[in-house]
Amino acid sequence: MLDFAIGHFNTVTYILLMMIGFHAMTSKTNLVKKVVGMNIFQWSIILFIVSLAAKQGATIPIVLGGHDDHGVAPILEASQYVNPLPHVLMLTAIVVGLATTGVALALLLRIYKRYGTLEEDELLEKIQTSG
């Protein structure tokens, strides 16, 4: 069991983080805490996918030397380089996450201006009474 957890360190970490985020989203009544939970949820997945690219004993995917004078590329061992694609994809996902957080915070701002609270139970009460 412990061996499994150590061997799948990245999986265990992401599931833990994901559940923390999920807990904050479902059981916190403060809307800002929900947004924080949502962020943790997203980042856990981003961390996980980045960790998929990791390789034992490999280096950053920058090819030194490049082409020689005759335009022939050196033969590369894929196992010596980290796969850059997951990182690039997750850069995009981070931008998407940023946009989502921005929209969520903008909505919270408007909710606060209108109802004067960010506590879910108080908010529901105010919606019930004021419509």
Partner 1 sequence: MNIHQSAIPVLIVIVPLLTALALPVVELWKRSAVFPLTLAALAFSFGASVVTAREVLANGPIDYYMGGWEPPWGIAFRIDHLSALMLLLLGCITLLVGIYSKRSILKELPEKEAPFYSVYLLLVTGLTGLVSTADMFNLYVFLEIASLTSYALISVGGGVAVVSAFRYVILGTVGAAFYLLGVGYLYSVTGSLNMADLASILPDLYESNVVLVGFAFLVIGLSIKMALFPMHAWLPGAYSNAPSAVSALIAATTTKVAAYVLIRVMYFVFEPRFSIDTIPVTMLLSWMGAIAMVLGSLMAIAQSDLKRMLAYSSVAQIGYIVLGVGMANAMGFTGGFLHIVNHAFMKGGLFLVAGAIIYRTGIREIRGLRHLSVRMPWTAATFVVCALAMIGIPPTGGFFSKLYLILGAIAANHWAFVAVILVSSVLGLTYMVNVVRYMYFAPAEGEAIPAGITPGAVVREEVPLTMLAPMLILAVGVILLGLFNGEIVSQFIDPSIPERLAR
**Least distance (Å) from partner 1 to the CB of residue 16?**
15
- The residue range among 1-9, 55-63, 66-74, 110-118 that interacts with partner 1, by the rule CB under 8 A, is 110-118
Return the residue matching tokens 């059981």: 27
Task: Give me the 81-100 binding string for partner 1, x by CB under 8 A, dash otherwise.
Answer: ----xx--x--xx--x--xx
* DSSP codes of every residue in 14-69: HHHHHHHHHHHHHH--BHHHHHHHHHHHHHHHHHHHHHHT--TT-B-S--SS-S-T
Instruction: Quote the tokens at residue 112.
Output: 């606060």
The reply to whether 123 sits near partner 1 by the rule CB under 8 A is yes
CA angle 125, 130, 131 (to 5 degrees): 95
Contact residues: partner 1, CB under 8 A: 22, 25, 31, 34, 38, 41-42, 45, 48-49, 52, 85-86, 89, 92-93, 96, 99-100, 103-104, 107-108, 110-111, 114, 123, 127, 131
